[in-house]
Amino acid sequence: MTKKPLREDPIKHIVWKRDRLQVLDQRYLPRTLKFVTCRTAAEVAKATRDMVLRGAPLIGCAAAYGMALAARRNRLKDVLAAEPVLRRARPTAVNLMHALDHMLEVAKAGPEASLSKRMAAAAVTYYEDDLGFNARMATLGARLLKKGSKVITHCNAGALATAGIGTAVGMIRAGWLSGKISHVYPCETRPYLQGARLTLWELMAAGIPSTLITDNMAAHLMKTKKIDAVIVG
């Protein structure tokens, strides 16, 4: 299997098409690959609220694109109206608040005549910045591991939760590419089963050796000294 570079998004789960945003519906994974098309900020908010997409970094990126969709008619009032709709979609997601604050600054920083173009460019940059953050975090984190490590991870902090390769799973992927990780044990993560449905699917897609475990098996694996590191967050 060809190993992709760290900055490359291994899973095309969010796609910007100028007049619409396509997001992979994570509720159907791992059995079905189904995309939802959002053409308005309200539809992006609904997708966020309904758990079509999840993970704070990805929610932030989607919100930035939602603000760009609201600006398509070059009317600042549309952007100002969309902002609270998106903000209410997941009020606990810090990245969502950061993205909306940033996009509001961009909206107010120039004339309405160039609003749509300015907002679209800012949304793409916001997304690409997260790609870079993921890759940098993964590279730095992998340096902390010893060669051939066996690791546990919990929930899903991978590509499906971000714009790029993920945070915790990004570090795992970097570790595997550099020979630092030999095997991964993702916990199933009840009750929503993000580990079983999402993380294991990502690891398998990347060709990383992995074994799904129940949540209460993690302590046993650590007790028997089969685990070198726990990577979460």
Q: Using one digit for the tens of pLDDT, what is the confidence trace for 47-84?
A: 999 999 999 999 999 999 999 999 999 999 999 999 99
Q: Using the Cα atoms of residue 45, residue 48, residue 49 and residue 50 in order, give the sign of their dihedral.
A: positive
Chain segment 97-113, per-residue pLDDT in tens? 999 999 999 999 999 99
Contact 24, 15 (CB under 8 A): no
Chain segment 150-207, per-residue pLDDT in tens? 999 999 999 999 999 999 999 999 999 999 999 999 999 999 999 999 999 999 999 9
Contact 79, 119 (CB under 8 A): yes
Among the listed residues 132, 194, 186, the one whose alpha carbon sits nearest the alpha carbon of residue 164: 132
**Alpha-carbon gap, residue 218 to 171, rounded angstroms:** 19
Domains and CATH numbers, the chain: 14-135 (1.20.120.420), 139-230 (3.40.50.10470)
Chain segment 121-164, per-residue pLDDT in tens? 999 999 999 999 999 999 999 999 999 999 999 999 999 999 99
Can you name the residues that pair with 181 across neighbouring β-strands? 149
| pTM given for the model | 0.92
